């Protein structure tokens, strides 16, 4: 469905609120090891300077971002840059999103513990890891087999409850629907109708929509009566979604 984990991260958003770095106790095997991995200071600085000092105000998102070992999700040789405010290359010519865009999309999804969430565009698995750290039940789809295979192994070690499938995410994952949240990490020319269909009442779809020249980050909320509320958040620049969505069929 998508060929990247990642936003290339051009965002026209700044914030003014600062909060202290997260201090909550780790809740997973990955976060339990995080305090001793040598990157705790870098994670704390990332949360403080890149997230809380901007417009990321959800403490649960800040805490999760402060626990997930992002350096485990970048290519070998890039670990020292893992907590910088920019995207980084991963396998298959793709990128991992800058920390801010991951935090923003997670905050917009309003994920709660126990929510069933679909992550489309697994990439290295970082977005799925953040969602799992927040207590979500995460299913993730990646169109590039090499990325899917590597993410599956990585997440099995760090967040073993995350399920990764290789395939085109345009039609979502009907067998696991409905979802309280869906996050799409590549730009679609239109909103895929199957993803709207798989949202639970009250669920949120967070995705970039548009072409190479102009994209907007959207939040689409399904109301209890099935109607949709659409909100444009900010201009962005993501890699394009590939696969069936390019046919322009059954889109909203």
As annotated, the active-site residues are 97
Q: Which residues lie below 8 Å from residue 71, measured CB to CB, with a gap of 6+?
A: 37, 39, 79, 82, 83
User: How far is 150 from 219, CA to CA, in rounded Å?
Assistant: 29
User: How far is 210 from 240, CA to CA, in rounded Å?
Assistant: 9
Burial class (CB in 10 A: 0-12, 13-18, 19+), 77: exposed
User: How far is 63 from 106, CA to CA, in rounded Å?
Assistant: 12
Residue 147: phi and psi, rounded to 5, are -65, -45
Q: What angle do CA 60, 230, 223 make, to 5 degrees?
A: 75
Q: Which residues lie below 8 Å from residue 30, measured CB to CB, with a gap of 6+?
A: 67, 68, 69, 72, 129, 133, 158, 159
Cα separations in angstroms, 156 against 73, 177, 239? 13, 22, 26
Q: What angle do CA 152, 85, 76 make, to 5 degrees?
A: 40
């Amino acid at each position: 469905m998508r060929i990247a984990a990642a936003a290339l991260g051009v965002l026209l958003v700044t914030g003014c609120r600062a909060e202290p770095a997260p201090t909550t106790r780790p809740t997973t095997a990955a976060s339990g090891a995080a305090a001793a991995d040598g990157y705790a200071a870098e994670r704390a600085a990332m949360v403080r300077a890149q997230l809380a000092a901007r417009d990321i105000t959800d403490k649960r998102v800040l805490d999760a971002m402060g626990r997930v070992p992002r350096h485990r999700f970048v290519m070998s040789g890039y670990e020292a840059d893992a907590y910088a405010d920019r995207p980084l290359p991963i396998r298959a010519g793709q990128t991992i999103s800058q920390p801010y865009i991951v935090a923003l999309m997670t905050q917009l999804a309003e994920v709660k513990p126990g929510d069933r969430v679909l992550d489309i565009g697994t990439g290295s698995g970082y977005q799925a890891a953040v969602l799992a750290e927040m207590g979500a039940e995460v299913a993730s789809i990646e169109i590039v087999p090499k990325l899917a295979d590597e993410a599956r192994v990585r997440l099995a070690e760090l967040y073993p409850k995350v399920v990764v499938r290789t395939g085109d995410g345009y039609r979502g994952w009907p067998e696991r629907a409905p979802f309280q949240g869906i996050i799409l990490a590549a730009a679609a020319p239109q909103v895929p109708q199957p993803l709207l269909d798989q949202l639970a009442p009250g669920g949120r779809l967070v995705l970039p929509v548009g072409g190479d020249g102009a994209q907007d980050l959207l939040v689409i909320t399904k109301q209890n009566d099935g109607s949709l509320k659409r909100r444009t958040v900010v201009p962005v620049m993501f890699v394009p979604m590939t696969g069936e969505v390019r046919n322009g069929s059954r889109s909203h």
